[in-house]
Amino acid sequence: MAATLGAVAKQAGVSVSTASRAFNEPGRLSPSTVERVVAAARELGYQPNHAARALATGRRGSIALVVPDVANPVFASFVKAAQAQGWQQRQAVLLADTDESPELERRLIARLLPQVDGIVLCSSRLELEELVSLDARIVLVNREVPQLPSVLVDASTGMRQAVEHLHALGHRSLAYVQGSALSWSNSERLRLITENAERLGVALEILHPQAPTYDGGIAAAANIRACGATAVVTYNDLVALGAVAQLTAMGIAVPGDVSVIGVDDIAMASMSVPPITTIAVPMDRAGRVSIEVMQRLLGGHEGEPALVRLETQLKVRGSTAEPVRKGTPA
Amino acid sequence: MAATLGAVAKQAGVSVSTASRAFNEPGRLSPSTVERVVAAARELGYQPNHAARALATGRRGSIALVVPDVANPVFASFVKAAQAQGWQQRQAVLLADTDESPELERRLIARLLPQVDGIVLCSSRLELEELVSLDARIVLVNREVPQLPSVLVDASTGMRQAVEHLHALGHRSLAYVQGSALSWSNSERLRLITENAERLGVALEILHPQAPTYDGGIAAAANIRACGATAVVTYNDLVALGAVAQLTAMGIAVPGDVSVIGVDDIAMASMSVPPITTIAVPMDRAGRVSIEVMQRLLGGHEGEPALVRLETQLKVRGSTAEPVRKGTPA
DNA sequence: CTGAAAGCGCTAACAG
DNA sequence: CTGTTAGCGCTTTCAG
């Protein structure tokens, strides 16, 4: 059906290899030849057969994206950006969703690895040893493993700004609502908020890990009240949103009685009432950059595995608008 | 590096063709042979080379998903379900995001078509003729084209329930805030609400198309007030959310003064205050089903192009909780 | 039930 | 600058 390189070659009156070169190394051909081949190709509607090329070169021309949950807005914007960048670099992007399951993740990786050039593994739930034993062309996102190239979100700037912002508002007692205790992002955020709270002499209460969801936030509200903190930072915006809703339902005003800060800057954070102050995490950039890193990795640039850190930034909104009241909450 | 079929064959003491058959048509081999080959394969960690198989068979083992915007929660859940289903059917899933651009969509399709078995085109923005001229292995989602297999969301049940619900609450004047005028979904919803309003003798005001976003909803609020309707159905939840926020800001109570109903049942709809009553659209089922339809299409079952309609259902929540007041709004 | 052999469409030395 | 010639790893007639 589809025209092959052979057909194009015949039509242009050259050999297959010449036709091939017209596309792959036009520099090595006389301009007129290239032109003739290109014309023939267009005439026949020639489309290269990627499977054949892959078989001959060993390069698949595709990379896989493995994420815990595409339906999560954070990963969705990551995927969107990565896909766009991949397309721009003429790489097909395979998508795999692990549904937060380490076992599924493991199987997906095994099945994908032999049929793509590389895998971008986002927020992997796998053990460290398992990750390094993969040996292969893998770029990690939101996971720090010295042996592997990775792109990380560096929450330090955002977290510093968040604690300073709260401190400036007069808050002296702070709580952090954890996300999944296993996640690299959570430990980073925990570490950073601890450092900053100490530095500024703000009391810090660490609240139990919650599912990083709206319901997790609802569940956390009681603990927030119980601990008596006047300000709270949550693992992410979803938790913040749930906490704000439940706090409000319990008669605790946000930001009147307690200030709330989330992380991620998902769309919802700006649409709620009050809108949530948040540490913006550039997952779109992470998507783009991770594909670039992968490209460099495949390009065979040896040396150290790449390590890219992406900056975060505090976005102040209504959930922290007011200075702390003199009295303590509820 | 990776073990080839040849290696497996040698290890098992059989020919390549036999080894091949052990995986593809084990019925034609003696059980003991199959067993031997399988054992050898596992021993060598054999992984079939998809590129080679594709070259030999013409089947790529992969299908592409083309969506307008993965970051849109509606499409995200579609993609998630489609991916899961594809994986289950041992089909790799390529992802392409058109960013709502018809030109990009066109180019993506052209580039993808030759390298996948088929394309699932979700909410295509292309012209009818362009779509049919594609001739190829395409399954449409949210777009009705007689010549092409498609899976459609049938809003009729949900819309009937919505208008009846509003009518039962005492509403006699209704407004519909349109989404993109070009979209198939929008015209369907417009048609259905018109039919239902007429049937129940409810006055209906059609409001200008808005961008199907939160900001579109904000912009629509003024028109909603101006038209004097006591209840409004919006193209989707995002618009509903924006409208509710702005209406509230203008001093119009929801659902006190006006009731609002959205479409989609995105997560955000249940998290807002008040939570949005909505017509739930099963995009996850659409994702799963569209892959199944594609599979059947590729299986070569001729006959009519498949046409699947998915039911919708009203989910009543706080944005329509109260019966209509005697007086008219603002 | 199993093997031999001919490609699928393309690339990549190797020769001119 | 261009053509010849082998394959890449797998499937698939065609013969046993």
- Kindly give, in sequence order, each residue whose CB lies less than 8 Å from that of residue B194, ignoring residues fewer than 6 positions away: B176, B204, B206
How far is residue B66 from each of residues A217, A261, A299, measured CA to CA in Å? 34, 36, 28
Cα dihedral A104, A109, A111, A112 sign: positive
Model confidence pLDDT, tens digit, residues B245-300: 999 999 999 999 999 999 999 999 999 989 999 999 999 999 999 999 999 988 87
Which residue, B191, B186, B187, B195, is CA-closest to B216?
B186
Yes or no, beta carbons of A69 and B80 under 8 Å apart: yes
**Residues spanned by CATH 1.10.260.40 within chain A?**
5-57
- A29 pLDDT tier (thresholds 50, 70, 90): confident
Residues of B near A (CB-CB distance < 8 A)? 2, 47-52, 54-55, 60, 62, 65, 69-71, 73, 76-77, 79-80, 83-84, 87, 92-97, 99, 108, 112-115, 214, 241-242, 245, 248, 267-268, 271-273
**What angle do helix axes B184-200 and B156-168 make, rounded to 10 degrees?**
40
> For an interface test with B, which of A46, A87, A99, A111 has the most B Cβ atoms less than 10 Å from its Cβ?
A87
CATH code of domain B62-154+283-311? 3.40.50.2300
Contact residues, chain A, for B52 at CB < 8 Å: 51, 55
The phi, psi pair for B272, rounded to 5°, reads -80, 170
Q: How far is A119 from chain B (nearest CA, A)?
A: 13
CATH superfamily of A5-57: lambda repressor-like DNA-binding domains (1.10.260.40)
Flag if B79 and A70 touch (Cβ within 8 Å). yes
pLDDT tens digits for range B298-310? 887 666 778 999 9
Q: Helix, strand or coil for residue A324?
A: coil
Which stretches of B270-325 are assigned E, i.e. beta strand? 277-280, 307-311, 313-315
Res A329 pLDDT > 70:
no
Per-residue CA distances from A148 to A184, A215, A303, B217, B272 (Å):
15, 34, 12, 45, 41
Q: For residues B220 and B248, is the Cβ–Cβ distance under 8 A?
A: no
pLDDT tier for residue B225 given thresholds of 50, 70 and 90: very high
**Chain A residues within 8 angstroms (CB to CB) of chain B:** 2, 47-52, 54-55, 60, 62, 65, 69-71, 73, 76-77, 79-80, 83-84, 87, 92-97, 99, 108, 112-115, 214, 241-242, 245, 248, 267-268, 271-273
Work out whether strand B307-311 and strand B313-315 pair parallel, antiparallel, or are unpaired: unpaired
Whole-number distance in Å between B125 CA and D15 C1': 54
Mean pLDDT score of chain B: 91
Task: Give the pLDDT score at A302.
Answer: 67
Q: What is the mean pLDDT of chain A?
A: 91
* pLDDT at residue B1, rounded to an integer: 60
Provide mean pLDDT across the span A128-141: 82
Pick the residue from chain B with its C-alpha nearest to A239.
B271
- Looking at domain B155-281, its CATH superfamily turns out to be Response regulator (3.40.50.2300)
- Among candidates A118, A143, A156, which has minimal Cα distance to A68? A143
Q: Report DSSP state, residue B154.
A: E
DSSP string, A6-37: HHHHHHHTS-HHHHHHHHH-GGGS-HHHHHHH
**Two tokens, residue A249:** 């339902």
Q: State how far the Cα of B50 lies from the Cα of B59, in Å rounded to an integer.
A: 9
Cis peptide before A275 (omega within 30 of 0): no
Q: What is the pLDDT, as a whole number, of residue A108?
A: 93
Mutation site for A-interface testing, chosen from B65, B120, B268, B319 by largest number of A Cβ within 10 Å? B268
Residue B200 CA to residue B237 CA, distance in Å, equals 24
Q: Measure the CA–CA gap between B141 and B123, rounded to whole angstroms.
A: 6
* Most confident range, picked from A100-104, A160-164, A322-326, B180-184: A160-164
Q: What one-letter code names the amino acid at B205?
A: E
Residues of chain A with CATH 3.40.50.2300: 62-154+283-311, 155-281
- Reduced to 3 states (helix: H, G, I; strand: E, B; else coil), residue A296 is helix
Lowest mean pLDDT, pick from A28-42, A272-286, B268-282: A28-42
User: Of A123-132, A164-173, B264-273, which gets the smallest average pLDDT?
Assistant: A123-132
Cα–Cα distance between B18 and B38 in angstroms, integer? 11
> In this structure, what are the phi and psi dihedrals at residue A286, rounded to the nearest 5 degrees?
-60, -40
Q: If you average pLDDT over residues A120-149, what whole number do you get? A: 86
Given an 8 Å threshold on Cβ–Cβ distance, is B70 in contact with A70? Answer: yes
Q: Is B108 within 8 Å of A87 (Cβ atoms)?
A: yes
pLDDT for B196 beyond 70:
yes
Q: Is the pLDDT of residue A78 over 60?
A: yes
pLDDT of A129 over the 80 cut: no
pTM, entire model: 0.90
What pLDDT does residue A235 have? 97
**Residue A245 clears pLDDT 70, i.e. is over it:** yes
Query: By mean pLDDT, which of A161-175, B23-37, B259-273 is the weakest?
Result: B23-37
Q: What is the C-alpha end-to-end distance of chain B, expressed in Å?
A: 74
**Mean pLDDT, range A82-89, rounded to an integer:** 95
Answer yes or no: is pLDDT of B81 > 80.
yes
pLDDT reported for residue A253? 94
- Could you give the CA distance from residue B206 to residue B187 in angstroms, rounded to a whole number? 12
Q: How many CA atoms lie within 13 A of B285 on its CB side?
A: 13
> Is the model's pLDDT at B83 over the cut of 90?
yes
- Predicted confidence band at B2 (pLDDT cuts at 50, 70, 90)? confident
B320, B260 Cβ separation under 8 angstroms: yes
Distance, angstroms, CA B45 to C1' D9? 16
Using DSSP's 3-state secondary structure scheme, residue A65 falls into strand
pLDDT-derived band at A278, boundaries 50, 70, 90: very high
